[in-house]
Structure 1
Amino acid sequence: MTARTALLVMDVQPAVTDRYPDADYLPRLATAVGAARDAGLPVIFVVVGFRAGAPEVAAHNRMFGGLAGRDLPASPTDVHPAVAPLPGEAIVVKRRVSGFAGSDLDMLLRASGIDHLVLTGIATSGVVLSTLRQAADLDYRLTVLADGCLDNDPEVHRVLTGKVFPMQADVTTVDAWIGATLTNHD
């Protein structure tokens, strides 16, 4: 059986992008999204979101606990307009850091015959790392677009994309992926 590839765009929501200022990031990511669409690859958007009052979050959760009991202003399906989903593209809502945590991502991928994930998103040390680890444990083939990921700590980003991720994924750039992979995608 031939592998089927999907591009995952993770946590690229206005509430997140506003905390990670990088003028070049969204245009570069938009290039990857456009190239995937042109090649007929599914683009799947993964966003973090909670019900009103965030009942899914325990107050003692170090990352999300401050949201418990609060009404959140933005829709969990908001994606930054620079890379917004087209009609019919999947938006998966997750409840924790990994794209798989509390979501139907694995079910969606398996039902679509997808077994190769191309990971992008914010932050490299958050959703990308957590999703990569869980996806590897679920036996997905993985590619990380290093410059399609963003982190507030450039050294952490460098170590993850240069030393940690290559143990479980191919790591490349948006331009190299477009040039090499998309011309002969599977």
Structure 2
Amino acid sequence: MSSSPFFIPVDLAHTALLLSDVQTQILKRFSPEIQKQYLDNIKTLLGFFRDEISQRRSNQDTAIRGAPYEGVPLIVHHTLPFNINSNSFVSPYNKLSKWVKQLEDAGYFANAPSDPHHPYYGIPDEIVPPGGWGGKDEIVLGKLQPSCFGTSDLQSYLRARGIRHVVLVGLTTMGSILGSARAGADLDYHIICVEEGIVDDDPEIHKFLMSKVLPKFVDVVELKDILGLQL
């Protein structure tokens, strides 16, 4: 009998799917073939969590209906609202400023308004929730640093839902994933990185981080391991 890929059992009632920087500006850096395969994997994960949420909502016990979030997973789309305030949140002392400048020069912010009151999150149309935004179980948040746990209200939402397990996917391995995984683990969340839901511009760096670095702090699993989790 094979051992579980999770170092502790996963309770979907207290699990969030966290999509970090899955946005058009970063996806454009990859080939069309990689984009398609990647988004197919993301849609599979989203379908699994959306089905779980729907089923749990319909089966919610009468005794806990007064606590509308109890026992229901959460989906968080967490992206950098590029060009908000003309990207003035990017410090010149941060080496990432050169990367942002490259994106600007490439025209990736052409459709991103600078208005701070109407940020553009760049989430691909094909992974937007059915019926659009506005639900309590699938939300979008902006951040100003690669790490999901650095400059946003993410932890408030996780605490409100009693989240203990975070299934983390996104772009890129050495960017938001490495930073978010380490930060989340330091905050005592059970972080689970899904191999097929994470890519990097450099395949060798991706392989090294996913096989040698991240497993020391978080669970690194395959897509089938998540799909195998049961209600």
- TM bin (shorter chain): 0.7 to 0.9
Q: Is 1:62–2:88 an aligned residue pair?
A: no
Q: Which sits farther off after the overlay, 100-109 or 7-16?
A: 100-109
Q: Is 1:148–2:181 an aligned residue pair?
A: no
> Identity, % of aligned pairs?
33
**Structure 2-normalised TM-score?**
0.71
* Cα contact 2:81–2:122 (8 A) shared by 1: no
* Cα contact 1:5–1:114 (8 A) shared by 2: yes
Q: Tell me the C-alpha RMSD between the 2 structures.
A: 2.0
Match of 2:22 in 1: 12
* Cα contact 1:20–1:150 (8 A) shared by 2: no
1:134 to 180, 183, 192: 183
Compute the displacement of 1:57 (Å). 2.0
Match of 2:66 in 1: none
Structure 2: stretches of 5+ with no match in the other structure: 1-10, 54-72, 113-118
Pick the structure with greater CA Rg. 2
Q: Distance in 2 between matches of 1:79 and 1:16?
A: 10
Superposed, 1:20-169 pairs within 5 Å as: 20-21=30-31, 22=34, 23-40=36-53, 41-50=73-82, 51-64=84-97, 66=100, 72-73=109-110, 74=112, 75-85=119-129, 86-87=132-133, 88=135, 89-169=138-218
- 1:8 aligns to what SS in structure 2? strand
Structure 1: stretches of 5+ with no match in the other structure: none
* Cα contact 1:76–1:93 (8 A) shared by 2: no
